[in-house]
Structure 1
């Protein structure tokens, strides 16, 4: 995984990104609500590649909702000192769960993911 000055290359880690307008459309909310969700750590956003503008990983939205368990997990990560970019990188890195934390959340296997995130915060 290549590193950028501010951490891992998210364009390599995260396969699909959506802009705030598309995120709003998929969730059935306004763009200003998406902005609030990002600020309140219900969602996370980052600039995936230079010049792209801030976007949300597409895997954070499932069946018209934010993936179950994601807001709580993002709060744990932020409380542990992670910013959005670091949180996204952690969620898309293989941790032998099996697989990536985001996959475990999407498959309703979030307990182990949250336990690992909580242990990192201490």
Structure 2
């Protein structure tokens, strides 16, 4: 059996783009990242956020909880990104895609199980 390969997020937002989309200051975006309400990783030397994690003018509702569970399980930001974007045939796509739909509680349960 082959190892699942993570898919790339559909798009990336720079931190100023996130601030504009959420209608908050750039310092608030940095705070959200520090407090694990939002995930940012470096791409081409610039911190970026997967666009689908920012739904309209808010962060996906269950994202902060999942990020905290992944952090508690020892996942660094890059590892959390990989986990969120790893294709899973038991889900409609990836955990990140399922977070945006009606499977968010299942994603939180799976993230919590990683800590055991």
Per the normalisation by structure 2, the TM-score is 0.88
Q: 1:35 aligns with which of 15, 30, 39?
A: 30
Gap regions ≥5 residues in structure 1: 1-7
**How many residue pairs were aligned?**
111
The structural deviation recorded for 1:15 is 2.5
Aligned to 1:47, the other structure's residue is in SS state strand
Q: 1:117 aligns with which of 85, 89, 111?
A: 111
**Counterpart in 1 of 2:19?**
24
C-alpha distance in 2, partners of 1:17/1:52?
A: 13
The structural deviation recorded for 1:84 is 1.1
**Counterpart in 2 of 1:101?**
95
**Counterpart in 1 of 2:42?**
47
Aligned Cα RMSD in Å?
1.6
Larger RCO: 1 or 2 (CA < 8 Å, sep 6+):
2
Q: 2:76 aligns with which of 77, 83, 94?
A: 83
**Counterpart in 2 of 1:66?**
59
**Counterpart in 2 of 1:4?**
none
Aligned to 1:13, the other structure's residue is in SS state coil
**Counterpart in 2 of 1:15?**
10
C-alpha distance in 2, partners of 1:105/1:45?
A: 17
Gap regions ≥5 residues in structure 2: none
C-alpha distance in 1, partners of 2:76/2:10?
A: 20
C-alpha distance in 2, partners of 1:62/1:14?
A: 14
The structural deviation recorded for 1:52 is 3.6
